[in-house]
Chains A and B, each alone.
Chain A
Amino acid sequence: MLKRPEKRGLPGPRVRADNTCRAEHATTGTQTMADTRPLTQAFPFLGTGPVSTEPYTSPEFFELEKERIFRREWLNLARDEELPNPGDFVVREIEPCNASIILVRGEDRVVRAFHNICSHRGNKLVFAEKGTNSSFMCRYHGWTYGLDGALKLVTAQDKFFNLDRADCALPAVHCETWSGFIFVNLSQPRQSLREFLGGWADFATGYPFERGTAPAYMSYELKANWKIAVDAFQETYHLGYLHRKTMRNMYFTPQDHSGSFLSIDLYGPHRRYSVWANGDYKPPESATVEHLARRFGRNINAGATAGETPITDLCPGLNPTRAKNWCWENAFVFPNLVVTFTPEIWILSRFWPLAQDRTRWENITFYPKPKTASERFSREYGFCHLRDVAAEDVDTMEGTTKALLSGARKTMHLQDSEIGVRHLLHTVENYVRPKPGRAVAAE
């Protein structure tokens, strides 16, 4: 663990051997941020100046992102729980690489990944989104493959000429799992998944992801650049403005609308930051249903959860400053996975670029399976609220993308709590147009 900075001492840059840097605020009160000195200074390699809008608008830049980021890096496609038994499979699309991937659990219980293509004449092998199979048979001419990708059966084999059956196995894709997150890498990985996750995995170790046995889904095809979509999840500045009707006084106070957060760590290309809630938030007396939802269950949307942090016994990386008004942790795994950790539920979003100005967004909230009707009711309330909040984000992502495409502004301006936006741009630049000698996270 990192040492806390001396009380009231300005957070200095702390770069560890694993490329982790931290900045944090000294916290005193439970209602608002007592300490509002800039965190961005802790990361001098990010700078503080305006940033270019070109990465959001340039088609050439987008082509490079597809090749240099999405085709090269580890990408999260699924959770382990989606494939509980041998023969269980899911098919997932990686649109920026035109790839369709079969994830399947073998008889040996190992999850493997294959390109979804038949070796005969290249038909798409599996058309279902998920299922359970003992083998995969191509519907075109009946070639059949085992769960390990080996070619098991060729129909009318005697009509072929010197067929090399070993060469006709399904093309395997590198696949590794960390804490139930199944990742693939379409290239020869430069490092293992664990090495790639680095300090991020240390931070998230111990979180009981498997408790979220009841996933609730939201998905939508955004008319937005993928980074603009990610950016909406990377700062809390907008909560007091864009979300003033949906989240009134939950995550900000009448005194503090600045969006400052409690602390932030950058782990190479990844990061996490701690968000505080207004511990004084109470629904108005007249909001009978909101009161009911909060009485019967607690979650991120049914009100702030300040003051309760037993989850840190399981996952000590959460709320590293142990602030009393901590309510959730927002985390990001480069390039396209956002994970929100709360004491009871956790949420992931994945963003899949379809075009420079289009993105497929998948959002899953992992709830513990409700045991009673009242708990079920409370979860529905939380989900419906999150849907309204997300709808505000979506309209804004699309508006931002459209406006930037006008080319009328060449730069944008980032405040202190928009470090995540700055860090994503910085990381993307490093992948797309690497400068010799520049490390991914820190210089």
Chain B
Amino acid sequence: MPYLPEKYADLEQFCAEWALETSQERHLKRASSSMSELQAFYDAITPRAAEILTYLDTFPLDALPAAERRLLNLCLSLADVSLSVEKYRVPLLPDAPYSTKFRADTSALG
């Protein structure tokens, strides 16, 4: 079984760490990564993000095949990571240390 849609197989190296199911897990991963790890992930996905999302939009969101779902989860990690890379230039803002302790749940969004 392919882990990612074939066209994106080269992104497989990021899946173990970043294709996470929940917003909470993705945020914990962002918070515990170094800036260079975040940057590496960001640099790999961002140039292709628009294309990936356009591809994923050809499927109904509530019936994504497993490989496509993993690809979307990578993108959802990118959404969180991009805040560190594009806005703050640190993994977590030093004045906002408790976001990892919030109980967060975006699963109803699909």
Contacts and interface: CB of A to CB of B under 8 A. Distances in A.
Interface string A76-98: 00000000000000000000000
Given A217-B105, A385-B83, A388-B96, A370 B27 contact: no
Interface in A354-375: 367, 369-375
A392 B93 contact: yes
Given A245-B88, A292-B49, A376 B76 contact: yes
Nearest to A293: B79
B99 interface: yes
Majority secondary structure, A binding face: helix
B16 interface: no
A220 B49 contact: no
Nearest to B57: A372
A289 B79 contact: yes
B101 A220 contact: yes
B2 interface: no
A289 B110 contact: no
Interface of B: 23, 27, 42, 46-47, 49-50, 53-54, 56-57, 59-61, 64, 68, 72, 75-76, 78-80, 82-83, 85-88, 92-93, 95-99, 101-106, 108-110
B109 A369 contact: yes
Interface of A: 214-220, 242, 245-246, 248, 283-284, 286-290, 292-293, 296, 367, 369-377, 379-381, 383-385, 387-388, 390-392, 394-396
A396 B98 CA distance: 11
A214 B61 CA distance: 13
A391 B54 contact: no
B46 A288 contact: yes
A169 B97 CA distance: 47
A402 to B, nearest CB: 14
A383 B108 CA distance: 12
A373 B59 contact: yes
Given A288-B46, A387-B104, A370 B110 contact: yes
B82 A381 contact: yes
Given A219-B102, A387-B102, A392 B109 contact: no
B79 to A, nearest CB: 4
A220 B109 contact: no
Contacts of B54: 374
A377 B79 contact: yes
Contact of A373 (B42, B72, B98, B99): B72
A375 B75 CA distance: 12
Contacts of A385: 83
Given A370-B61, A377-B79, A296 B53 contact: yes
Nearest to A288: B46
Contacts of A380: 23, 76, 79-80, 106, 109
B61 A391 contact: no
B79 A384 contact: yes
Given A214-B108, A377-B76, A394-B96, 13 more contacts: A216-B105, A217-B103, A217-B105, A246-B93, A288-B46, A288-B82, A289-B42, A289-B86, A292-B49, A372-B56, A372-B61, A395-B96, A396-B95
Given A289-B86, A374-B57, A376-B110, A391 B103 contact: no
A374 B57 CA distance: 7
A369 B110 contact: yes
Which of A219, A293, A376 lies at the interface centre, i.e. has the most chain B CB atoms within 10 A of its CB? A376
Nearest to B75: A377
B101 A367 contact: no
A296 B56 CA distance: 13
Contacts of A215: 108
Contacts of A388: 83, 88, 93, 96, 99
* A245, A289, A391 pick with most chain B CB within 10 angstroms: A289
A374 B102 contact: no
B82 A216 contact: no
Nearest to B89: A245
Nearest to B54: A374
Contact of A218 (B53, B75, B104): B104
23 contacts: A216-B106, A217-B105, A218-B103, A218-B104, A220-B102, A242-B95, A287-B86, A293-B79, A370-B109, A371-B61, A372-B57, A373-B59, A373-B61, A376-B72, A377-B79, A380-B80, A388-B96, A388-B99, A391-B98, A391-B99, A391-B102, A395-B96, A395-B98
Contacts of A391: 92-93, 96-99, 102
